[in-house]
Amino acid sequence: MTEGEQRHDVAWSIDITIAIRVRNTRERLGYSQAELAEMIEIPLQEMIDLEIGKTHITAGRLYTIAKALGVPLDWFSDEAT
């Protein structure tokens, strides 16, 4: 595996981990995907895509999600677990 492929794998792994943490936090707090999508003003399909890792969650979007869910931004990082 080349260095570029390794970086891609690491980045993909981080994206998936964050997506799973968003979904788990949303579910733990009792919000549906539709409710969170409305709270952060995105279409439901985009919310679905974010949670399955099909769409990357930008830093700005993650900040908006964290505020909507009432958790600190670092809640989604490895240090929070």
* CATH code (residue 41): 1.10.260.40
The mean pLDDT of 12-25, rounded to a whole number, is: 91
Which range marks the domain in which residue 10 is found? 3-80
pLDDT of residue 18: 92
CA angle 5, 78, 26 (to 5 degrees): 105
The better pLDDT of the pair 42, 9 is held by 42
Instruction: Report how many domains make up the chain.
Output: 1
Q: What is the pLDDT of residues 37-66, one digit of tens each?
A: 999 999 999 999 999 989 889 999 999 999
pLDDT over 90, % of the chain: 64
CA–CA gap between residue 18 and residue 51 (Å, rounded): 8
What residue type is assigned to position 23 of the chain?
R
CA–CA gap between residue 47 and residue 52 (Å, rounded): 9
Mean residue pLDDT of the chain comes to 89
- Region of residue 70 (phi > 0: left; psi between -120 and 50: alpha; otherwise: beta): left
User: CB under 8 Å to 48, separation ≥6 — which residues?
Assistant: 33, 54
